[in-house]
């Protein structure tokens, strides 16, 4: 059984102007997501700025999310690292808090061979008893998890059950779908490719767009599952301009600005992320208005 089907939000971590995590704003955002029909919450991923959090903050944020959600939807914790020992530590702690699964990004900066990736993910997965979602995002990590490695991991590790595919390479994802023969669930990691990946047998999306449009992102998936392919495709295409605006600067700068414009969060970022450029803010505002969420 899949961890979730539909739209899982890669939720932002709200921060105050001084950089501290804003937990009241985070709780408000979680409730907005659940009320909007989001099917799962992915906490402390790329969009959640985990890379600039201390281990203590990271784990505190995960625990806070679990406590607020109270099992209403699955909570998936980003616990990946470029250090296998750290990934094991974060994953074991997150498991103890009651998360439903972990999301493990491929090692970044030091990267790895395909064998190194296999050993990294296998070691981390074997240290815990909850499901694991692999996260392939070569544009950030400089490291591509090949389909053959994914299938090997899924067959050798019973709790490696899914992958968030953010390579943007539809041909590679199609190859993975073909050779995996259903042994691993595939989630789109790109909001502009939800329908294409659903058409290859994907189970849904781990989404940035859902931060600002939870109902609409859920609907893209639900329409498809209900056999309303045209409606699903129409919603996907309607969201394209907004999706592009949400990535006109490095994620999560635009989505945090969007939530600030919606008066959902204060909008704080941690260096090296900086305030959005005025021209891009104008572009984002226009896209949000045209989409109907501002």
Each residue of 239-252: pLDDT tens digit? Answer: 999 999 999 999 99
The rounded distance, in Å, linking the Cα atoms of 174 and 188 is 12
Each residue of 82-112: pLDDT tens digit? Answer: 999 999 999 999 999 999 999 999 999 999 9
Task: Give the phi and the psi of residue 223 in degrees, each rounded to 5.
Answer: -55, -45
Q: Looking at residue 87, what is its pLDDT?
A: 98
Give CA torsion, residues 221, 233, 133, 61, to 10 deg: -70
Per-residue pLDDT band for 1 (boundaries 50, 70, 90) equals confident
Which residue in the list 16, 111, 122, 135 is annotated as catalytic?
135
CA angle 280, 286, 292 (to 5 degrees): 135
Residue 259 · residue 212 · CB < 8 Å: yes
Each residue of 29-52: pLDDT tens digit? Answer: 999 999 999 999 999 999 999 999
- Per-residue tokens: 135: 């996260």
Helix (H, G, I), strand (E, B) or coil at 238: helix
User: Which superfamily does 6-228 belong to?
Assistant: Aldolase class I (3.20.20.70)
In angstroms, what CA-CA distances link 31 with 11, 27, 134, 292?
Answer: 12, 6, 27, 21
The rounded distance, in Å, linking the Cα atoms of 121 and 112 is 11
Going by C-alpha positions, the residue among 20, 11, 52 that lies closest to residue 214 is 11
Per-residue pLDDT band for 170 (boundaries 50, 70, 90) equals very high
Per-residue pLDDT band for 267 (boundaries 50, 70, 90) equals confident
The rounded distance, in Å, linking the Cα atoms of 11 and 239 is 18
Summarize the confidence of residues 205-218 as an average pLDDT.
98
Residue 284 · residue 276 · CB < 8 Å: yes
Task: Give the phi and the psi of residue 17 in degrees, each rounded to 5.
Answer: -60, -30
164 catalytic? Reply is: yes
Percent of the chain with pLDDT over 90: 98
Which residue in the list 63, 118, 164, 187 is annotated as catalytic?
164
The rounded distance, in Å, linking the Cα atoms of 103 and 159 is 12
């Amino acid at each position: 059984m899949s961890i979730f089907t539909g739209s899982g939000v890669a939720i932002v971590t709200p921060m105050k102007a001084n950089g501290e995590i804003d937990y009241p704003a985070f709780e408000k955002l979680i409730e907005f997501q659940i009320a909007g029909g989001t099917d799962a919450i992915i906490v402390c991923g790329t969009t959640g700025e985990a890379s600039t959090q201390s281990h203590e903050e990271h784990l505190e944020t995960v625990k806070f999310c679990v406590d607020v959600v109270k099992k209403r939807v699955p909570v998936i914790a980003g616990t990946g690292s470029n250090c296998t020992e750290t990934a094991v530590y974060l994953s074991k702690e997150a498991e103890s808090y009651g998360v439903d699964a972990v999301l493990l990004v491929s090692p970044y900066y030091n990267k790895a061979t395909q064998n190194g990736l296999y050993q990294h993910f296998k070691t981390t997965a074997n240290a815990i008893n909850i499901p694991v979602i692999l996260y392939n995002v070569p544009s950030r990590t400089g490291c591509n998890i090949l389909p053959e490695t994914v299938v090997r991991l899924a067959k050798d590790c019973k709790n490696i059950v899914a992958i968030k595919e953010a390579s943007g390479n539809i041909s590679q994802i199609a190859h993975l779908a073909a050779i995996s023969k259903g042994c691993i669930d595939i989630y789109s990691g790109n909001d502009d490719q939800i329908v294409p990946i659903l058409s290859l047998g994907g189970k849904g999306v781990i989404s940035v767009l859902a931060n600002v449009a939870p109902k609409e992102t859920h609907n893209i998936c639900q329409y498809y599952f209900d056999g309303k392919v045209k409606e699903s495709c129409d919603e996907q295409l309607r969201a394209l301009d907004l999706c592009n605006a949400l990535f006109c600067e490095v994620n999560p700068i635009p989505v945090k600005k969007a939530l600030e414009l919606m008066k959902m969060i204060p909008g704080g970022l941690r260096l090296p992320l900086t305030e959005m450029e005025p021209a891009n803010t104008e572009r984002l505002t226009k896209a949000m208005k045209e989409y109907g969420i501002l």
